[in-house]
Amino acid sequence: MKLPESFYLNNNVTEVARKLLGKYLFTCIEGAITGGYIVETEAYNGIIDKASHAYGNRQTARTQTMFAKGGVAYVYLCYGIHEMLNVVTSVEGQPHAVLIRAVNPTVGIEEMLYRRNMTVVKPNITAGPGSVGKALGISRKLNCISFQSNELWIEDQGLSFTDDEIAAVPRIGVAYAAEDALLPYRFYVKGNVYVSKPNR
């Protein structure tokens, strides 16, 4: 059921970002399983991508995880508040990663509501990377953990989308990345209500 390690070794990040749409992402935190299928992703294309933390081959304590072999999680804190989940891809030394921006929840709804401090399911429960992190109980303790583990994994349950059902547009919140901010590295499922804000 879990995606094989080979899936993550692909050195074409945008292809992986595209293929992750429709895959099921799960976490098992303190016995509670939560998750759903991915509906929005963003690709970060290694050392030549100005929007990436690893731009210019920048290796620091934080970015080390991105340089690992594909198939592990890169989790970091953004704006002092939000835990963001990325899927590290490609071979060791190649800092490619895919940011999980939105999930269509299917399992553990009650637990996600509790974590999000909500009482009824609304589209924003898992729309946006910070929301996904919170709903799935992602924390920096999961940084560097393998997607073959029993705390965090991705499954193929046969769901897939055609090119017509998927949009490829510029990424969010990366205006500082100059010309690279315009690259169509953000992928999402058209019309899905769990896709983050302006679009769909």
Per-residue DSSP letter, 146: B
- Closest distance of CB 173 from DNA, Å: 2
Structure tokens at 54: 């690893």
Please tell me the distance from the alpha carbon of residue 191 to that of residue 14, in angstroms, as a whole number: 21
Please tell me the distance from the alpha carbon of residue 22 to that of residue 140, in angstroms, as a whole number: 25
- Closest distance of CB 28 from DNA, Å: 22
Phi, psi of 117 (to 5 degrees): 65, 40
8-16, 18-26, 125-133, 151-159 -> range binding DNA (CB under 7 A): 125-133
Pick the closest to residue 73 from 164, 141, 162 (CA basis): 141
77 binds DNA (CB under 7 A): yes
Total of chain residues touching DNA, rule CB under 7 A: 38
CA distances from 27 to 108, 113, 130, 151, 155 (A): 10, 15, 15, 5, 11
Q: What angle do CA 139, 145, 146 make, to 5 degrees?
A: 135
127 binds DNA (CB under 7 A): yes
Q: Which of residues 79-118 bind DNA (CB under 7 A)?
A: 79-82, 84, 86, 97, 99, 116
Q: Judged by CB under 7 A, which of 14, 63, 89, 90 binds DNA?
A: 63
Per-residue DSSP letter, 63: G
- Closest distance of CB 34 from DNA, Å: 16
Q: Judged by CB under 7 A, which of 14, 27, 34, 131 binds DNA?
A: 131
4-12, 19-27, 28-36, 57-65 -> range binding DNA (CB under 7 A): 57-65
- Which residues of the shown chain bind DNA in the complex (CB under 7 A)? 42, 44, 51-54, 58, 60-63, 66, 74, 76-82, 84, 86, 97, 99, 116, 124, 127-131, 171-174, 176, 196-197
